[in-house]
Amino acid sequence: MIKPKKYIYTIFSVIFIIGIIGYLLQPKRDLPQIKRQGILKVVVPTDSFYGFEYDLLQSYLRTIDVEARFEVEKGISSSIEKLKTGECDLLLRLIPTTQTLKDEVLFTQPIAKTRLLLLQYQHQHNNTRNYNDLENDTIVIEKNSPYLTRLYNLQEEIGLENLNITEVDATPEEIINLLINNNIKFTIYDEFSFHLLPPNKLINAQTVISTHHFLAWAVAPTCNLLKNDIDTWLTQYTNSLSYRDLIRKYYH
Q: Give per-residue pLDDT as tens, 60-109.
A: 999 999 999 999 999 999 999 999 999 999 999 999 999 999 999 999 99
User: Given this model, what pLDDT does residue 105 score?
Assistant: 98
List the domain boundaries for the chain.
28-112+214-250, 116-211
Burial letters for 224-245: b for 16+ Cβ neighbours within 10 Å, e otherwise? eebbbbbeebbeebbeeeeeee
Of 3.40.190.10, 3.90.1300.10, 3.30.379.10, 3.40.50.620, which CATH number belongs to 28-112+214-250?
3.40.190.10
Average pLDDT for 19-26: 41
Residue 134 has pLDDT above 60, yes or no: yes
What pLDDT does residue 11 have? 58
* Architecture, CATH, for domain 116-211: 3-Layer(aba) Sandwich (3.40)
Query: Per residue in 184-213, pLDDT tens?
Result: 999 999 999 999 999 999 999 999 999 999
Instruction: Band the pLDDT of 130: cuts 50, 70, 90.
Output: confident
* Helix axes 241-250 and 52-64, enclosed angle (nearest 10): 150
* 189, 96 Cβ separation under 8 angstroms: no
Which helix (DSSP H) or strand (DSSP E) does residue 156 occupy? helix 148-158
| Residue 115 confidence (pLDDT) | 97
Per-residue pLDDT for 37 more than 70? yes
| Mean pLDDT over each residue of the chain, to the nearest integer | 89
Strand locations in 76-220 (E)? 90-96, 106-107, 112-114, 116-121, 138-142, 164-168, 186-190, 203-208, 213-219
